[in-house]
Amino acid sequence: MTHPWTRIDRYRYEIPMSFRPDMRVPACFFSDDTLLESLGEDRSIEQLINTATLPGTVKHALAMPDMHQGYGFPIGGVVATRYPDGIISPGGVGYDINCGVRLLGTHLDREEIAPLMEELASALNTHCPSGVGKGGHVRLKPGELEQILETGSRWALKRGLATPADLERTEEGGCLSGADPAKVSQRAMERGRDQVGTLGAGNHFIEVDMVDEVFDATAADRMGLSPGRVTVQIHCGSRGLGHQVCTDYVKRFQKSIAVHGYRLPDRELVCAPINSPEGADYLAAMNAAANYAFANRQVLAHHIRTAFEEVLTGRVGNTGIYQIYDIAHNMAKIETHEIDGNRLPLCVHRKGATRAFGPGSRELPEAYRDIGQPVLVPGSMGTASWVLVGTSTAMDLTFGSTCHGAGRQLSRNMAKRRVKGAALKRELEEHGIVIRAGSMGGLAEEAPIAYKDVDRVIEVVHGAGIARKVARLVPLAVIKG
C-alpha cells in the first residue's frame, strides 16, 4: 500500500511539501513500525498534513509518536507559526486549555506507605473532588476568579495554598503574563466559578506512584527520585472554563476565515493572525484559562498535602510533599527559537505535546537548568508513567517539544465492550493497585488496552533524542471521577 511518507531515520518520517499543493511546509512525525501499524483507520496523519497548510507555519508541522485523531490538529501535534503575523488556532491548543501534569515528590518509600494505602486513597478521594457535577471546596470571593485568571498559581500563594518553591517548579512559574479576564466570556466564568480545585472526569486522575527504575542517576537525584520512592501525579486542566473559552473562540474565528481569505481543509483548524483583534483576544483568553489550570492543579496539590498529613502524621517518618514539576500539554506559547541561524519569535502550538526545553534554557528553574526541563508523561491507568528531561536535540528538531502520554487507540465504546469496569477494578487491585473510581463505565473507558503502549512511545522519543529517560513510575493507587 502506498503512503505519503518516507522514513528519514530510525524514528522519523517525513511527508514532503510536494505531496499536496496546499502544504506550506513539510510534515514530519516520530514513530516506529508497531505504532504506525496501530494507527489503522485513524486520521491523525491526514490531520498532520492539514496543519502544514496553516498560514505562517515555520519549518515543519510535527506529530509525536503518541499521535491520534483530534479536532483539526492531531493529538500529539506541534506547529510553530511566525509571531506576530502568523496564525493562532484554538484547535492547536485543544478544548482543555493547559491540560497538564504535576508531579509531587515525597520522602516516603513504598514499604512505609503500603499498609496505609487504602486509607490514603480514600482521603485523597474525599479531599480532591472528582467526577461529573462535583464542585470544589474552595469558595471564591467576588473578584477572586478574575485574580485566578490573571495570576494563576500566584493567587494560590497569596491564599496560602502554595509555597514559593511550588511556583518556581511550575512551567511559567504558574502564571502566564498577557492573560486578560475581560476576554473570557461570562459563560466561561460561570462554568469555572465552582470548579477550582476539582479533577473532573474522563482521563483525568490523581495517582500515587512508586519509582520503579532510574535511568539517569544525576537527574533523578536532582528531583529526589530513587527506586521505591513514592510520588503523586495530578492530571487535569482548566475544566469547564477552558472548554468554554475554546468553544467561544472556535465560533468567533469562523468569521475570520472569510475576512482573512483563508481556505482551510478542516473547519476545526479555524485560525486568525495573532496580531488581529480576534487573535490577540484569543491569546489573552487562552493565557487566562491556562492560569486557571495552573491554579487548579495547585489547589489539588494543597488538598493532597492535607490528605497525606491527615492519614500519615505520626505513622510514618516524614509526611512532607514537595513539587518536582508541573507541565502543560495543551498550549500555545510565544517562544524564541533558532531557525536557519536566526533567533525568531514564534507561536508554538502543542496539542497533546509537552514542552521539553534542553539544558541551559533560561526558562528553567535553577535546580534544573543544567539537566534540562522535567517532562512528565502519564501512562494509561494501571500502566507506567515516565519522567524525562528535555534536550538540545529537541530544541533543534521539534521546537523543544516531545510526547505527552500514551495516546488512545480504541474508542470509548470499544473499550467498554471489551472491558467491564468492575472486572478491571478487581484486576488492578489484584496487581496491588488501589482504585477509587466514581464510575465503572468511566473506568472501563480508560482501560489500559484502550491506549498505545507508553513504554514504546518513550523508546521512540528517547531514541530520537527529543527527551531523555530519567525514571519510570508504577501506580500504587488511582483516584478518578
Partner 1 sequence: MPYEEIEHTADYAIRAEGEDLAELFRSAALGMNSLIAPHPVHGGMEVAVPIKLEGMDVEGLLVDWLGELAYLAESRSMLFHRFEFEEISERRLKATLYGRTVDSIRKHIKAVTYHNLEVRETDTGLEATVVFDV
Give the residue numbers marked as catalytic. Answer: 404
- For 288, how many CA atoms within 13 A lie in the half-sphere containing its CB? 26
Three-class DSSP category at 275: coil
The upper half-sphere exposure of residue 175, i.e. CA atoms within 13 Å in the direction of its Cβ, equals 16
CA–CA distance, 313 with 117 (Å, rounded to integer): 14
Per the CB < 8 A criterion, the answer to whether 416 and 439 are in contact is no
Q: Which is nearer to partner 1, 261 or 341 (CB)?
A: 261
The C-alpha cell that represents 134 in the structure block: 462535583
| Beta carbon of residue 441, minimum distance to partner 1 (angstroms, whole number) | 7
Question: How far is Cα 163 from Cα 190, in angstroms, rounded to an integer?
Answer: 28
Pick 56 or 90: Cβ nearer partner 1: 90
**CB–CB of 409/448 below 8 Å?**
no
- Nearest residue (CB) to partner 1, 250 versus 307: 250
Is residue 377 within 8 Å of residue 352, measured between CB atoms? Answer: no
- Min. distance of Cβ 5 from partner 1 in angstroms? 20
SS3 label, residue 46 = helix
Q: Tell me, what amino acid is at 116?
A: L
Task: In angstroms, give the least distance from the CB of 255 to partner 1.
Answer: 7
Under the rule (CB under 8 A), what is the footprint of partner 1?
42, 68-72, 75, 95-96, 132-133, 187, 190-191, 200-202, 240, 243-244, 246-247, 250-251, 254-255, 267-268, 408-414, 439, 441
Residue 450 CB, shortest distance to partner 1, in Å, is 9
**Dihedral sign, Cα of residue 358, residue 364, residue 367, residue 369:** positive
DSSP conformation class of 231 = E
**Which amino acid, residue 450?**
A
Least CB distance to partner 1 at residue 137 (A) = 19
Q: Which residue has the cell 500500500?
A: 1
SS3 at position 346? strand
Q: Enumerate the H helices of 3-132 as residue ranges.
A: 33-37, 44-51, 110-113, 117-127
Sign of the C-alpha dihedral computed for residues 425, 426, 430 and 436 taken in this order: positive
Tell me how far apart the terminal alpha carbons of the chain are, to the nearest angstrom: 42
